[in-house]
């Protein structure tokens, strides 16, 4: 079995840190549902501002609140306004990777969803893996790559 991305909230901002609550991250149920993240599911959290990396479980806040609240010890790693990447994981047999299309949501500064993307893995005629990022309509977007040291981003 391989651990792969199940869903991702990319660029969501911390709305509150609550050191006195007994742990977890509180998220808007609408965001979780759209990304396929379940209540009580463990997620990895990467703070783009500080570089902190933590793991905790999800509890649901008020629907439509756009909240992202770090609770308990996790509150020490993130401050209101910090930009986070929150990623759930699933385990799959390697051959099943082509059946997945994990959702990736991107956010503006007010935690409104800006994009709803999907990751897609397929195989070409030679059996080699191909990776694509798809928009809501299923159109393929450029994959951001850097070719060689100091070169411009391609795509």
Q: Which helix (H) or strand (E) holds 73?
A: none
Other C-beta atoms closer than 10 Å to the C-beta of 80 total 12
Considering only residues 71 and 145, tell me which one the structure prediction assigns the higher pLDDT. Answer: 71
Q: Is 119 within a domain?
A: no
Considering only residues 154 and 103, tell me which one the structure prediction assigns the higher pLDDT. Answer: 103
Give the CATH number, domain containing residue 12.
2.40.40.20
pLDDT of residue 148: 52
Indicate if 57 belongs to the active site: yes
Q: Using CA atoms, how far apart are residues 79 and 76, in angstroms rounded to an integer?
A: 8
Express each pLDDT in 80-93 by its tens digit: 999 999 999 999 99
CB of 129 closer than 8 Å to CB of 141: no
State the residue range of the domain holding 93.
Answer: 2-97
Q: Is 77 within a domain?
A: yes
pLDDT of residue 22: 83
Express each pLDDT in 98-153 by its tens digit: 999 999 999 999 999 999 999 999 999 999 999 999 999 999 998 886 555 544 44
Q: Using CA atoms, how far apart are residues 111 and 89, in angstroms rounded to an integer?
A: 22
Q: Is 84 within a domain?
A: yes
CB of 106 closer than 8 Å to CB of 55: no
Q: How many domains does the chain have?
A: 1
Given 17, 24, 88, 119, the catalytic residue: 24
Given 17, 21, 50, 57, the catalytic residue: 57
Indicate if 24 belongs to the active site: yes
């Amino acid at each position: 079995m391989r651990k792969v991305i199940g869903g991702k909230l990319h660029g969501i901002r911390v709305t509150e840190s609550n050191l006195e609550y007994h742990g977890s991250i509180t998220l808007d149920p609408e965001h979780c549902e759209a990304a396929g993240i379940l209540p009580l599911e463990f997620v990895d959290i990467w703070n783009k501002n500080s570089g902190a990396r933590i793991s905790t479980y999800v509890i649901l806040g008020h629907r439509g609140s756009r909240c992202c609240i770090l609770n308990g010890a996790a509150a020490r790693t993130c401050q209101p306004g910090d930009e986070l990447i929150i990623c759930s994981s699933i385990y799959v047999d390697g051959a099943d990777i082509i059946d997945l299309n994990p959702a990736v949501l991107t956010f503006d500064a007010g935690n409104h969803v800006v994009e709803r993307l999907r990751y897609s893995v397929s195989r070409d005629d030679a059996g080699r893996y191909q990776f694509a990022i798809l928009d809501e309509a299923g159109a393929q977007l450029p994959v951001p790559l850097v070719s060689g040291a100091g070169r411009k981003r391609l795509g």
